[in-house]
Structure 1
């Protein structure tokens, strides 16, 4: 009588998915580590005896972008396949984001009109950045919610039945997400939602992005004033005094975040060539 050997079939599909999931996690851990390193570098630069606010802004911005990328990638890994089955829900989300951008742009136009008392379309780059500010302001509760979810997920994964390596990677990525959301939420609360701080940032951004530091108009002093053309024929210019940070009492702040006095009036005059 021959022996009978029972072979238990392996679930190759599940094994491949697990391997793919762990490989994706390894890539995300690398991104999260870079995010954390840049974050600590930004703090170190800010607290040094010789502060470098520009480097702080660059490091912090890249760190936050990487944190957002990590969160989005985690969500795609976890629920991305399920979302593809809910196409009507995806259409609803796209429509909601489009409406969000529309109302954010309305607020941005109002801010620019309040500062310069002129058509906001003359400041396209400032309008874009201000729209992003207001989009973030409208999503402030969502950012806080994502941060809380990431923090809870980092704690909950410890009790899951995953391998220890996966637990560490998921907890680390979620921890980076939670901290990035915290920084973004604080920025929105103290800089964007505060009208005075927001207006000063918009004014500085307009000087950097849309005003011309040198004007070909002979009746505009390029040493003291910046200008932007009002009409397509370039006959009229709106002028504003240049921002001079000679007496800088906020050396640790990035230039866009520093306090500035916004003029009440911005004269429009004919350009003399």
Structure 2
């Protein structure tokens, strides 16, 4: 099967959801990749989800796995529905709500409004590594300001050869965030190609440099990671691949029965 229904160009998404957290040491990578593939099937059926990137990282000191999600949704109502469902209803273990699982440590999650999002390169072939940046601000008119600057930021992302860029904000939390996605160059050495792609995206100047100075941004979070998994509900509904694992190899792929 092929990945279907993800075209390049402007992305019609009003809202986004992000989560970031380490997982307890007893969860190994092959457990994590199989767990998310099984559990995805109860989660990506929620209304309005366009797609999800699931990053994978490692704590530089303990070696513990670190993961989360970067999701786009069609409407603010649907992203709020997803947050409510995962917080208040979803249980994979009896009487334990999804975000309260004991092996999810120090979960940070946010709902965002999208000022702009654009895919420059095909999701099916060119979305391998993802960078997520969060900033604090005291500005009280983020919607208006970010939508004005979005075309400049989008065009610079294209000049830099990125695969995708999202510009987002949360007025209540007084935060601005940027998601950037890049492709790896395939030379036949999967591990080396992945390391180079990560290093290149991580070392790029932040697109936040293009945002208005009156935002007075303070960096809060900046992580660049391989994409362990993509959730692809639009493709699944069209009869295509329901999920993908663009960095396998070198990362593990699910060994559970396909959907």
- Report the TM-score range of the alignment, normalised by the length of the smaller protein: under 0.3
Is the radius of gyration larger for structure 1 or structure 2?
A: 1
- Structure number with greater CO (CA < 8 Å, separation at least 6) is 2
More helix by share: 1
TM-score by length of 1: 0.23
More strand by share: 2
